[in-house]
Amino acid sequence: MTLLGRPLAALAVCAALLLSAGTALGAAGDPTIIVPINDAEAGGTYNLEFKRVYAGATPTGTPVYIYVPSGWTSGQVAGIAGIDPQFDPIPGDAFTPCATRPDSDYVITQTQINTLGDLLARQIVGVNEAHFGPIGLANASDPN
């Protein structure tokens, strides 16, 4: 695996959840946002709070933010809802956490976050904007 490896994949999953979950409480750039996580396997939806851990901008001024589940500190996995493979949002249901995966597969460090954020700001967002046009609001009538 590369320098970013599996932890970056976990971070990307968090980003995908943010993009696919219902309506978030908060707006991009806020210090914290609450995202409803739809988990059909666990039997419903639960809210998960995320904190902003990276704030940057592209050379053209497009803001770039990275959020991780609240409670996270660099390198910590155990006990962090949304990162800990043993997290069970509804204990006692049929959902079984990832008992066979070590915590080390889910570690995210601030260095990895900064690397990803800088790549997004310097290169990835610019390439996407060049191909698809400027990034705008998902719903132009709703600034949140």
103 against 13, higher pLDDT:
103
Residue 25 confidence (pLDDT): 84
| SS3 annotation, the chain | CCCCHHHHHHHHHHHHHHHHCCCCECCCCCCEEEEEEEECCCCEEEEEEEEEEEEEECCCCCEEEEEEECCCCCCCCCCCCCCCCCCCCCCCCCCCCCCCCCHHHHCCCHHHHHHHHHHHHHHHHHHHHHHHCCCCCCCCCCCC
Q: By mean pLDDT, which of 2-6, 40-44, 97-101 is the weakest?
A: 2-6
Residue 116 confidence (pLDDT): 92
Q: Residue 130 CB: number of other CB atoms within 10 A?
A: 8
Residue 124 confidence (pLDDT): 74
Residue 18 confidence (pLDDT): 44
Q: Give the pLDDT band of residue 96 (cuts 50, 70, 90).
A: confident
Residue 17 confidence (pLDDT): 43
Mean pLDDT of 112-118: 93
Residue 141 confidence (pLDDT): 74
pLDDT tens figures, 56-90: 998 888 889 999 999 888 888 888 888 888 887 77
Distance from C-alpha of 59 to C-alpha of 53, rounded to nearest angstrom: 20
Whether residue 12 is predicted with pLDDT greater than 70 in this model: the reply is no
pTM above 0.85, yes or no: no
